[in-house]
Homo-oligomer: A and B are copies of this chain.
Amino acid sequence: MRDVAVVGVGMQKWGELWEKSLRDIFVEAALLAIEDAGVDHIDSMYIGCMSSGLFVYQEHIGSLLADYLGVRPIPATRIESACASGGASLRAGFIEVASGMSDIVLAGGVEKMTDVGGDEVTFALGTAADQEYEGFSGVTFPGIYAMIAKRHMHEFGTTPEQLAQVAVKNHNNGSMNPLAQFPMKITVEQVLNSVMVADPLHILDCSPITDGAAAAIICSVDIAKKLGKPIIKIIGSAQATDTIALHQRDDITRMRSTERAAEEAYRMAGKKPEDIDIAEVHDCFTIAEICITEALGFVERGKGGGFVESGATALDGRIPINTSGGLKSKGHPVGATGIAQIVEVVHQLRGEAGERQVKNARVGLTQNMGGSGGSAVVHILEAE
Contacts and interface: CB of A to CB of B under 8 A. Distances in A.
Interface in A80-114: 80-82, 88, 91-92, 95-96, 98-101
A58 interface: yes
Given A67-B243, A73-B256, A79-B80, 17 more contacts: A51-B59, A53-B53, A53-B127, A57-B123, A58-B135, A59-B80, A59-B127, A63-B242, A63-B244, A63-B257, A72-B242, A72-B243, A73-B241, A76-B241, A78-B80, A95-B95, A96-B99
A61 to B, nearest CB: 8
Nearest to A135: B57
Interface in A55-80: 56-64, 66-67, 72-80
Copies in the complex: 2
A63 B374 contact: yes
B56 A53 contact: no
A101 B1 contact: yes
Interface string A236-265: 001111111000100000001100100000
Given A63-B81, A63-B244, A130-B64, A54 B54 contact: yes
A193 interface: no
Contacts of A260: 73
A371 B240 contact: no
Q: Which range contains the number of A residues in contact with the other chain? A: 35 or more
A132 interface: yes
